[in-house]
Structure 1
Amino acid sequence: MSAPLHEARPAGPGRALPDTQQGMRRRNLARAMHAVRAEGPLSRAAVASRIGLTRAAVSTLVDDLIRWGLLEELGPERPGRVGRPGSALAVSGRGPAGIGAEVGVDHLSVCAVDLRGEVRARAVRRRVNRGRAPGPVLEELDALVRRVVAEAEQEGLWPAGLAVAVPGLVARDDRTVVRAPNLGWHDTDLAALLPTGVPLTVDNEANFGALAELWLGAHTPGDFLHVSAEIGIGAAVVVDGRLLRGTRGFAGELGHVPVHPDGPRCACGGRGCLEQYAGEEAVLRAAGLEPGEDLVGLLARRADEGDTGVRQALRDAGTALGIALTGAVNLLDPEAVVLGGALAGLSPWLLPSLEAELASRTAGPVCPVSVSRLGPEGPLLGAAHSVIRAVLDDPATVAVRQ
């Protein structure tokens, strides 16, 4: 894998730039990038109007962004306008790419996303990772990353960073998996086992799923509780457009909220956790089905065919979810609850009992529940887009590559 010559990690979404003349210039570069990405193609004059700077100041910023390969000129604007036509600017389809990866209990996946937000390369490997040592799993992930990077490089892209979504607790250093019960991993330093040569960020899969919903979801509010699931169940809280991480970065462990304190033992060491009633494997057990490669597809297909056992198992799972969510909704008062991950594909059978529990147990007005259109793709896309957002929020970080 070719390594970009970054000298410092990108500032990242929400990270403050220094309050200096250089910091102000970097913020203006970011404002120009975001304006073109949100509303482009735009002329220099239009960008100046959008961000409130002079045309001369914007022209200097734009020249740098073009030189760094972040913007491109498309030629004169459409004919028919009064005055001298300006050159239309657009976000480049070449240059930096965000590499997102996900370590799932039953799969590994990697994708490359360009500055326009388009997925340009992808690789998936179905493999049961539960109980496997981190080293071999991450060797396979590294091979997938290298494959995706090679495909992206053929299209003129280079990796600005790698973000990895994992089903577990991640330390504040953004690289160490403190505990991933469904993988059996403890205190695993992914940076030491993934020597990719690019800036690395590791985060909980539910956090990346929530960020994807915030950035890519349709009409998602700035305050919401995002719930996702595969074998386990995770959640993330977004407040004012930012993740609520908690003191140690472990906020959102909804799957280990006890819904029946005397229930079965959970992989976390507790009893009666939500995962034991609403995780994929728990629903399969309750429905009397054997695990397969496509658990969600199997459950949805059987439920759609009218299988009473599967439908009852999904109703019970929805009830358990509603009980756990009621506590979170009463405590946090979010604008909405968003179901993502595997839960999105099973929502027709989960929602009635889930919403009934919320309606009967919530102290205030009933919190609306919506279904993510991203489904199980959310964590992977959120990981890749987090790298892209870091470039957009501080474009000067790529200058050292020139």
Structure 2
Amino acid sequence: MPNTQQAMRRRNLSLVLHAVAAHGPLSRASVAARVGLTRAAVSTLVDELIRDGLLVELGPSRPGTVGRPGSALQLNERGPAGIGAEIGVDHLAVCAVDLGGRVRARTEVASANRDRTVGPALARLAELVRQVAAEAVREGLRPAGLAVAVPGLVARDSSLVVRAPNLGWEGVDVGPALRAALPGLPLTVDNEANLGALAELWRGGHDPAPRDFVHVSAEIGIGAAVVLDGRLLRGTHGFAGELGHVPVRPEGPACACGGRGCLEQYAGEEAVLRASGLSPEQAAAQHPGPGGRIALLAERAADGDRRVRRALDGAGEALGIALAGAVNLLDPRTVVLGGALTPLAPWLLPALERELALRVADPARSGQGAVTVSRLGSDGPLLGAAHSVVQAVLDDPAGLREAAAVTGSGA
């Protein structure tokens, strides 16, 4: 019975915190009405969340509420912070977000991580993590954990990068180097497409938020993630969503995965550059910095460069072929085009939607309007990483206090 009561209390703390996060500022009475608990029970839970620094009480609640006005509750802007990090092929990035989802600190640096020795890359990222965490502390926040997005396969519930072909990494455990940056705090590592999809679910700005979608994104490779009924589909080993290695033309060129004619060979960044008559090195020199090659393609397409537009049309066609299979198999509400693909959406979408219209079994689900373009763009994986830490706090606020007790950091 005590364990059952404790589990119920944990769940109720989360219900109250989620209610304020979604609808605040709210009075205690309004919270009680939303979560279906008595006012007395909610008041006790609220007091606990205030003591733990998760909620703050403002002045009287908004006018128009029923009964005597009470103090309004909102998330503490000087409470826990989620630290998110991203390892890209050409950059490293770190940010801190507060409980309300606002980015409070951020840094990004160009970094040629492809085939780079792992140790220096992780050491540099750890340095950036410490820098952003220190900035968050100066803002009055306290880091609650670190989540890291990587462009590769990550073993489920671990920090082991099984294979990241576009980095040249295989069997790399990023945990030891990065745990040292924020000792004692939880660390999670996940595929960048998964975290981009979660960012779309939590912070995509859709009304209502989609709960069933395929999220496809790209850097040098193509990644995808599937969200069904508001939950990320991970697969048995955590490798679900490898859309980039779906063959779209089986007789096509060899791929690093060992297959032939994979989507990545037609819609990946380097494939599009080659089809546009540009080498990756030329493109980087013409438009340096993170995301520069994609920016160059977008600029040339906007200027009417026919070769670039043909390359993007071919990439959109290949995307449509691969995504049609995913749509027929999973029946999602929509496909979300995210990550580095978003600046190229105007030139990818016509062919992509044309292929969906030809290939999707349900004609009402295909063609124009079948694909949504993410508002988060290339920030999706980084924001998804940071927000995953915040989401863990909202889902189990009691766990934050327990972790603080273990590390001796205080609530």
Q: Which runs of 5+ in 1 are unaligned?
A: 1-17
Q: Report if aligned partners of 1:97, 1:159 keep a CA contact under 8 Å in 2.
A: yes
* 1:252 and 2:250 correspond: no
Q: Distance in 1 between matches of 2:72 and 2:157?
A: 41
Residue 212 of structure 2 is matched in structure 1 by 223
User: Which of 265, 273, 280 matches 2:254?
Assistant: 265
Tell me the CA shift for residue 85 of structure 1: 2.8
Counterpart position of 1:305: 303
Shift of 1:397: 1.3
CA–CA distance in structure 2, aligned partners of residues 333 and 47 of structure 1: 36
Identity %: 71
Alignment-derived partner of residue 408 in structure 2: none
1:291 matches 2:283: yes
Residue 81 of structure 1, CA deviation: 6.5
* CA spacing shift, 1:166–1:23, aligned 2, 3 Å: same
Equivalent of residue 119 in structure 2, options 123, 135, 138: 135
- The answer to whether the 8 Å contact 2:126/2:177 transfers is no
| Aligned pairs (5 A) from 1:72-91 | 72-78=56-62, 84-91=68-75
CA deviation profile, 1:153-201 (whole Å, cap 9, x unmatched): 0011111110000000010133110000000111111112212312100
Q: Distance in 1 between matches of 2:66 and 2:99?
A: 32
Query: What is aligned with 2:371?
Result: 369
CA contact (8 A) 1:234 1:255 kept: yes
TM-score by length of 2: 0.91
Could you tell me which of 339, 354, 360 is aligned with 1:356?
A: 354
Is the aligned partner of 1:316 residue 2:308? no
- Taking the aligned partners of 2:225 and 2:399, their CA distance within structure 1 comes to 28
Kindly indicate whether the alpha-carbon contact (under 8 Å) linking 1:111 and 1:148 is maintained by their aligned counterparts in 2. Answer: yes
The alpha-carbon distance between structure 1 residues 78 and 308, as it changes in their structure 2 partners (threshold 3 A), is: closer
Name the counterpart of 1:214. Answer: 201
- The equivalent position to 1:340 in structure 2, one of 338, 341, 350, is 338
State how many pairs are aligned: 385
Structure 1 segments (4+ residues) deviating >3 Å: 78-84
Q: Is the 8 A contact 1:170 1:202 kept in 2?
A: yes
Secondary structure of the 1:164 match is: strand
Relative to its length, the structure with more helix (as a share) is 2
* 1:276, distance to aligned residue in structure 2 (A): 1.1
Deviations 1:212-269 (A, max 9, x none): 1111121342111100001010000111110111111101000011112222222222
1:24 to 2:5 alignment? no
Unaligned runs of 5+ in 2: 405-410
Is residue 57 from structure 1 mapped to residue 41 from structure 2 by the alignment?
yes
Using CA pairs under 8 Å that are at least 6 residues apart, name the structure with larger relative contact order, 1 or 2.
1
- TM-superposition CA deviations, 1:279-319 (whole Å, max 9, x none): 11111111012321301110111001000010000001101
Give 3-state SS (helix, strand or coil) of 1:346's partner.
Answer: helix
Match of residue 68 from structure 1? 52
- Counterparts in 2 of 1:80 and 1:235: CA distance versus 1, 3 Å: closer
Cα 1:58–1:354 change in 2 (3 A) is same
Equivalent residue in structure 2 for 1:149, among 104, 129, 133: 133
Query: Corresponding residue for 2:407?
Result: none
Cα distance in 1, alignment partners of residues 65 and 317 from structure 2: 60
Q: TM-score, normalised by structure 1?
A: 0.93
